[in-house]
Amino acid sequence: MLNDQDHEYSYSDELLKSALTLSESENSEELTELLESLHPSVLSELLINLDQDKQQFFLQHLTGLDAVAELIAFASTDLKAVLILMLDDSRLAAVIRRIEIDDAAEVLRLVKRRRQVRILKRLSATLVKELTSLLSYDEETAGGIMTTRFLSIEPNYSAEEALKEIRSGLVNNSIHEDTELSICYVTDSKGKLIGTVEFKKLLRLGQSDKISEIMTPLSVYVHPEDDQEEAAWKIADYDIPSLPVVSPDDYILLGIITVDDILDVIQEEHAEDLSKLAGISQGDDVGATVLTSLKSRLPWLIASWIGGTLGAILLGSYASALEKVVALAFFMPVVFGMGGNVGSQSSTITVKGLATGELASLRVFQRIKKEALVGLYLGCLFAILLATASYFMFKDPMLSLVVGCSIATTMTFASALGATLPYVFIKLGFDPAIASGPLVTTITDILSIAVYFSVATFFLL
């Protein structure tokens, strides 16, 4: 039986085969019908697996603007860029009118400044005002991912008056059809956010109940310049469908961040962190060009090369020790490898804890102490195993003592180092995820060489 993932791949493969068959047979009408019948997320996944020429060929068969608008809302950044290049100013403006305001702002961020101006001239003054407001914020901030379409009611309204105004707004389109309806935001006459009311709660209230009496006072919010990750964790921690974005000084409600936007943020941040853990840039994915991949990987590999060269120079300084006790070479891969592994584990767990908010800055020492103890206990365990193996191989108690002490010391220091580096990078203003992967492995390799041969020199020479 196929599992869900196998079924998904099978379904995508079948669709791709069908689309390619229709394209080769030059059956444009059936191809258009097939593409426009697919859900935008399925179509997006289908197009990602094609080269740019094939992407453009299939996209040319999306004749309806509604289909293009739905696709661009689900598309990856690279696919959005292809769509933007294929659409003239008039059609792109028409697409922007059809999609949610935060998605429209994301599309415009991919457009060059001159073209941005031309497209904005084709939009209504109200839409331009909303878009320019969003475009003024960095795309990775709360302001950059918020929508300016939300329900706002005054505290002196009764439940009946509030519902009547909402119903009227929906009928006359003063409340946009994309507006999030699950939460009503209570604001005063100046637009200052003072509380919230769930829409379903509003429906259950008596007609004369005052909003001010039944609203939940303002307790959770973000400012527009806050990082988008902070907004993501607040929505997750408080289990709310949307999060208000308020001005830092007077708490004027500027917009809201919805769960669907947060899911995109979490996916993007996860991909970014995975890239950093592997020592590559986020743009280096399966669809990247050779040049992009080279630019992405080269800096990290140069750093690793420099570290490896320093390690080789350090190892060379102990050449005489290796010549006198050749058996030391047999255990170098084990000692160096275990140090790198435990260091990577420690740094990855620390980065994860910092990302999820589980580790507070006040617990830095406790965190490093715990990882050092974990490294020590693991080191002692593997020291016994490696020392025993060494003795059976060479019948030399001193050599067994050296390899045992070396692996225990290396794993202890490597584990502590792995927990320390993310905090160091935070203090320096860098993403702590950089401290994992190639960097920590390179540093622990150098540390392992120094420890191993220092112990060997002390006991054997």
pLDDT digits (tens, 9 = 90+) for 164-190: 998 998 888 888 888 888 899 999 989
Provide the pLDDT for residue 45.
Answer: 78
Which domains does the chain carry? 4-139 (1.25.60.10), 150-265 (3.10.580.10), 290-460 (1.10.357.20)
Provide the pLDDT for residue 91.
Answer: 92
Helices 290-316 + 438-460 axis angle, to 10 = 10
Provide the pLDDT for residue 206.
Answer: 74
Provide the pLDDT for residue 8.
Answer: 46
Residues of the chain short of pLDDT 70, as ranges, are 1-13, 15-17, 19-27, 269-289, 293, 296, 355-362, 433-437
What's the CA gap between 196 and 181, in Å, rounded? Answer: 12
Instruction: Indicate the pTM of the whole model.
Output: 0.66
